[in-house]
């Protein structure tokens, strides 16, 4: 199952971008044998001022299970997150997309379109850091599913 991280804005080179790239590469390496990946980061800019949520919605691959990162979403444990990926993969889903909005978050229409709203907790996180956190959780999920030692719960 391919994984897309659809994010508003472009990351400047720096620690957050490096972390995101590293964790996505680790996810690809671990997930390949599990039928997970490859993962891709798609950065979306609203140059025409059409609305960030509309652009995110257009970028969702056809048939993808869409997960919007949103402070109103449900929190999950890492094993539950791994189980979600496995369940979607096992159902025959070919694509999963994670949506990271801009400073104003997602529109009500995009939240309604999403198959799942996911929160990293009640605090609001910088969008570039949210990318790295999501990438790390994707790798952790693959490690959990592979029975690897990374997750020690």
Q: Give the angle 16-8-64 at the CA atoms, nearest 5°.
A: 105
User: pLDDT tens digits, residue range 67-108?
Assistant: 999 999 999 999 999 999 999 999 999 999 999 998 888 999
51 within domain boundaries: yes
Residues 6+ apart with CB under 8 A from 116: 65, 66, 67, 68, 73, 74, 84
Instruction: Tell me: pLDDT of 64 over 80.
Output: yes
In a domain, 69, yes or no: yes
Q: Is the pTM of this model over 0.75?
A: yes
- Residue 152 domain-assigned? no
* Each residue's pLDDT tens digit, 106-121: 999 999 999 999 999 9
pLDDT, one tens digit per residue, over 18-30 is: 999 999 999 999 9
Statement: residue 35 has pLDDT above 70: yes
3-state SS assignment for residue 6: strand
* Helix H or strand E encompassing 119: none
pLDDT of 25 reads 98
Report pLDDT for 127.
Answer: 87
Query: In this structure, is residue 45 part of a structural domain?
Result: yes
* Alpha helix (H) residue ranges in the chain: 15-31, 52-59, 78-90, 108-113, 127-146
CATH number of the domain bearing residue 89: 3.40.1280.10
The domain tally of the chain equals 1
């Amino acid at each position: 199952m391919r994984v897309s991280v659809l994010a508003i804005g472009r990351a400047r080179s720096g620690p957050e971008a490096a972390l995101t790239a590293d964790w996505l590469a680790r996810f690809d390496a671990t997930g390949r044998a599990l039928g997970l990946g490859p993962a891709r980061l798609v950065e979306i800019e609203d140059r025409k001022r059409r609305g960030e949520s509309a652009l995110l919605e257009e970028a969702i691959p056809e048939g993808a299970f869409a997960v919007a990162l949103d402070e109103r979403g449900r929190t999950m444990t890492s094993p539950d997150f791994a189980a979600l990926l496995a369940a979607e993969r096992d159902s025959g889903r070919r694509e999963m997309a994670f949506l990271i909005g801009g400073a104003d978050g997602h529109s009500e229409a995009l939240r309604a379109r999403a198959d799942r709203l996911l929160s990293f907790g009640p605090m609001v996180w910088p969008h570039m850091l949210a990318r790295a956190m999501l990438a790390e959780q994707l790798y952790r999920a693959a490690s959990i599913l592979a029975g690897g030692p990374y997750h020690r719960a």
